[in-house]
């Protein structure tokens, strides 16, 4: 049977450009759950449940917050211009410096026709010691009276960056409970979908240090085989989507009960595509409720003995909300 099977690679390729904007000045900075970036959104905009930012879905207005590495600021400072706008289908209007409390920043403004409606867009790129903030605001002309230009500027000028996001706040963004971290740290979260845990902490830009440190991804996705006879092939196909592995050899693949639900386990060895390091990989897939939970633990083979029981502790602590 045909089954949707999003790859881990797609889950890990984090965020890009976005749409967004807002209304009259608000009093205090609001951090969307899980985001290090925040601002004081105009009245009418509230934190989104679908992305890091704020939205007014009734008026198609939103502000999206994207955290990029620190070094991204210098590159964007050189490349955001009329020509780059044109490539995105946006008509360039202006660009100006907009120094903020976080550091250097600039604001570029343009407009675009979307579904025969004119949409005003603001792109704020701001530096900070820990990350580069890329903020996109979008207001259709139909909502301009409610969200005037002054209100957008006022909101963008309140941009702030917090040092960390509490672990509990990050884990609340995924639709399953992580009952045991087994000493791992949260390296990244995709709201509603996945969490990455690893030994090395996330850097201030969001990228984890020590790529070959033991790490485990837990992700949920809709769709799974209804028949038990199809689960082995499904799990093997899913395993094949794990990125950055080469010379893979599956050592074990078998059904495995996980609590009260059917599951499947694959144990394999391989090499890291970039460094050539020898790796050991475990994939567990838990089936149930029209969805599947995929858990992938990876560690250097010489560290596997210590990492494996920790991976299992994480696995056994995952429960539905």
- CA 116/CA 91 separation, integer angstroms: 15
Indicate whether 21 pLDDT > 90: no
> Which has more confidence, 79 or 202?
79
Backbone angles phi, psi at 43, to 5 degrees: -55, 135
Give bridge partners of residue 189 from the DSSP assignment.
Answer: 195
- Find the helix or strand (DSSP H, E) in which 154 lies: helix 149-156
State the DSSP code for 169: H
- CA 14/CA 134 separation, integer angstroms: 13
Question: Which of the four pLDDT bands, split at 50, 70 and 90, describes residue 211?
Answer: low
- CA 159/CA 103 separation, integer angstroms: 10
Burial of residue 49 (number of CB atoms within 10 Å: 0-12, 13-18, 19+): exposed
Chain-centroid distance of CA 245 in Å reads 22
What digits encode the pLDDT tens for the residues 266-320? Answer: 999 999 999 999 999 999 999 988 899 999 999 999 999 999 999 999 999 999 8
pLDDT recorded at residue 224: 87
pLDDT recorded at residue 2: 40
Residues recorded for the chain = 321
Least confident of 51-65, 186-200, 234-248, 293-307: 186-200
- Sequence-separated (6 or more) residues with CB below 8 Å from residue 278: 269, 270, 271, 300, 301, 302
What digits encode the pLDDT tens for the residues 38-83? Answer: 999 999 999 998 889 999 999 999 999 999 999 999 999 999 999 9
Task: Give me the residue label for tokens 């899980």.
Answer: 34
Q: What is the DSSP string of 226-284?
A: SSGGGHHHHHHHHHTT-TTEEEEEEEEEEE--BTTB-EEEEEEEEEETTT--EEEEEEE
- CA 154/CA 156 separation, integer angstroms: 6
Sorted by where each starts, the structural domains of the chain and their CATH numbers stand as 10-161 (3.40.1000.10), 165-320 (3.40.1000.10)
- b/e per residue, 67-92, with b = 16+ CB within 10 A? bbebebbeebeeebeeeebeeeebeb
Burial of residue 184 (number of CB atoms within 10 Å: 0-12, 13-18, 19+): buried
pLDDT recorded at residue 260: 86
Q: Are 52 and 66 in contact (CB under 8 A)?
A: yes
Task: Give me the residue label for tokens 């979307």.
Answer: 114
């Amino acid at each position: 049977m045909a089954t949707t099977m999003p790859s881990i690679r797609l889950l890990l390729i984090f965020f890009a450009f976005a749409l967004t904007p807002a209304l009259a000045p608000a009093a205090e900075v609001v951090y969307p759950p899980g985001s290090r970036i925040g601002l004081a959104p105009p009245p009418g905009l509230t934190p989104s449940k679908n992305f890091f930012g704020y939205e007014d879905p009734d008026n198609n207005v939103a502000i999206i917050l994207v955290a990029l590495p620190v070094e991204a600021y210098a590159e964007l400072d050189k490349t955001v211009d009329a020509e780059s706008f044109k490539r995105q289908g946006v008509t360039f209007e202006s660009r100006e410096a907009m120094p903020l409390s976080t550091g250097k920043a600039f604001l570029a403004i343009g407009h675009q026709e979307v579904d025969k409606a004119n949409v005003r867009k603001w792109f704020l790129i701001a530096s900070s010691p820990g990350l580069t903030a890329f903020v996109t605001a979008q207001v259709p002309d139909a909502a301009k009276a409610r969200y005037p230009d002054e209100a957008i500027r006022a909101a963008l000028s309140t941009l702030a960056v917090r040092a960390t996001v509490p672990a509990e706040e990050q884990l609340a963004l995924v639709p399953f409970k992580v009952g045991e971290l087994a000493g791992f740290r949260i390296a990244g979260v995709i709201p509603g979908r996945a969490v990455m845990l690893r030994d090395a902490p996330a850097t201030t830009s969001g990228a984890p240090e020590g790529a070959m440190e033991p790490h485990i991804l837990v992700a949920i996705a809709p769709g799974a085989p209804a028949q038990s006879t199809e689960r082995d092939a499904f799990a093997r196909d899913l395993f094949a989507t794990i990125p950055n592995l080469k010379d893979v050899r599956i050592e074990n693949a078998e059904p495995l009960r996980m609590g009260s639900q059917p599951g499947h386990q694959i144990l394999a060895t391989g090499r890291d595509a970039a460094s050539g390091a020898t790796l050991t990989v475990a994939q567990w897939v838990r089936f149930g409720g029209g969805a599947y939970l995929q858990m992938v633990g990876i560690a250097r083979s010489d560290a596997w003995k210590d990492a494996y029981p920790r991976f299992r502790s994480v696995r056994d602590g995952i429960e539905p909300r």
